[in-house]
Amino acid sequence: MMKKHSSLPVESGHGGTTGFIRAQSKTSLERLVETSKKMGMENQLFICQDRAAKATALINGKEYLNFSTYDYLGINVHPEITEVVTQVASEFGTSSGASRLVGGERPQHRELEKGFADLYGVEDCITYVSGHAANVSTLGFLLSSRDVIFHDGLAHNSLVQGARLSGASRYSYTHNNCDDLEKKLKAHRKTHKRAVIVTEGLFSMDGNIPDLPRIIKLKKKYNCMLMVDEAHSLGVLGKTGRGVREYYGIAPIEVDIWMSTLSKTMCGCGGFIAGSRELVESLKYGSPGFVFSVGMPPVIAAACRKALEIMLREPERVHRLQHISQYFLEYARSKGLDTGAAQGYAILPVIVGDSMVSGFLSSALFKRGIYVMPVSFPAVQEGSARLRFFLSAVHEEEHVRKTLDAVVEELPKAHAVVEQYRQGHGHESQ
């Protein structure tokens, strides 16, 4: 006979959902927001914008220079995308209505997946409704406790969470350090059945590129698979935006699992995995993020397919993005700003070190009509807080000069204000 659970009274404010939430430690981000409020800074998180974000953003009726959008090629709200979305919505609505496994597919799904398979020169592709879920669900499904994953120390949260979910042994190698990767391969590869090396095509915090040719050599030497997350490199690297493989001139079959999101260059939402037909078939029938999730809305699939078409048809967008990114990097360095390891491709950090300084600097710039967000621990290591600028093909050199000149003016003021606050509040600001 099943044993009944005892019914215990729950005191108001100490049990149930409220008690659970209060029992959790506040995140560093929450603490930073609280401290910022005490310092008189506006909270720029979850800010509501009045229209599509481009080189400028409209916030509460005021226009700002905008460096907080992933629309790298300036394709969002392109009239061709708007037209195809309108047409597809009238025929298929705004939802797939069910998992593709049980509710069937739509032509837009297959067209999009074929488009990416062709782009990468591989056999097949599978799309997910979430880029984060694509990584978590792929790694979590493909690997097991008998296997091992070697990932870059700055790998995205979705890759790390997928590795944890898999139950495989997990080793993080020093960021972009192939010597450390080989050291860990030598020490741990032989004791596991299967192995995967995981890296990104363009790292989302530092804006730098991995040594993919050497990683491929290590993959072959130690009999590993290789997964490359191109969330930020698709549409950004290479002469035509085909990503890190075009940047290096690498044959696509040298990488076993190609991944990218659809929310950046592709102006939609979701993610995909491209590779062998066997890989994709396995994911279609077993990956939880695909099997147990509603299919991508046909309107989103159609929008992404059109964005891909525009990217390939208009490589000048890629060239403009690369030009303005290099210009930003050179101008920032000429002003003595710390851009870290950035190589001048779409993602440009200005490192200030202190989390509170980065927050205050962002707030000061916002007051001057410049919208750029700070990034601090745990998204980056302690002591490497920064402003992270996302560049777009529609940004102009004048935008860059005006913004970086303002950074130079406001940075010493931010340091002074934070230092004064700490002297008066001591432990509260730690």
| Segment 360-385, tens digit of pLDDT | 999 999 999 999 999 987 778 888 99
- Asked if residue 257 and residue 121 are part of one domain, the reply reads yes
- Asked if residue 253 and residue 323 are part of one domain, the reply reads no
Percentage of the chain exceeding pLDDT 90: 79
- Asked if residue 324 and residue 230 are part of one domain, the reply reads no
- When divided into structural domains, the chain yields a total of 2
Query: In this structure, are residues 135 and 336 in contact, taking their beta carbons and an 8 Å threshold?
Result: no
- Asked if residue 177 and residue 254 are part of one domain, the reply reads yes
Residue from 356, 371, 341 nearest 411 by CA:
356
Query: In this structure, are residues 400 and 389 in contact, taking their beta carbons and an 8 Å threshold?
Result: no
Q: What is the pLDDT of residue 381?
A: 82
- Would you say residue 20 has pLDDT above 50? yes
Residue 258 lies inside a defined structural domain of this protein: yes
- Asked if residue 356 and residue 331 are part of one domain, the reply reads yes
Collect all residues with Cβ–Cβ distance below 8 Å to 397 and sequence separation of at least 6: 324, 327
Q: What is the pLDDT of residue 48?
A: 85
Which of 260, 281, 313 is at the close of a domain?
Answer: 313
Q: Range of 192's domain?
A: 79-313
pLDDT tens for 231-251 read 999 999 999 999 999 999 999
- Asked if residue 61 and residue 147 are part of one domain, the reply reads no
Ordered strands of the 62-66 beta sheet: 56-59, 62-66, 370-371
- Asked if residue 279 and residue 348 are part of one domain, the reply reads no
- Asked if residue 230 and residue 96 are part of one domain, the reply reads yes
- Asked if residue 308 and residue 324 are part of one domain, the reply reads no
Question: 33: which 2 tokens?
Answer: 């927001």
Kind of pairing, strands 56-59 and 62-66? antiparallel
Residue 413 lies inside a defined structural domain of this protein: yes
pTM of the model: 0.89
CATH number of the domain bearing residue 240: 3.40.640.10
- Asked if residue 290 and residue 375 are part of one domain, the reply reads no
CATH number of the domain bearing residue 418: 3.90.1150.10
Which of 313, 346, 364 is at the close of a domain?
Answer: 313
Query: In this structure, are residues 380 and 205 in contact, taking their beta carbons and an 8 Å threshold?
Result: yes
| CA dist., res. 184 & res. 180, Å (int) | 6
Mean pLDDT taken over the chain: 91
pLDDT tens for 96-122 read 989 988 888 899 999 999 999 999 999
Which of 265, 283, 313 is at the close of a domain?
Answer: 313
Residue 99 lies inside a defined structural domain of this protein: yes
188 pLDDT tier (thresholds 50, 70, 90): very high
Collect all residues with Cβ–Cβ distance below 8 Å to 302 and sequence separation of at least 6: 84, 85, 87, 88, 108, 111, 112
- Asked if residue 213 and residue 165 are part of one domain, the reply reads yes
- Asked if residue 156 and residue 280 are part of one domain, the reply reads yes
Q: Give the DSSP H/E element, type plus range, for residue 163.
A: helix 157-166
Residue 294 lies inside a defined structural domain of this protein: yes
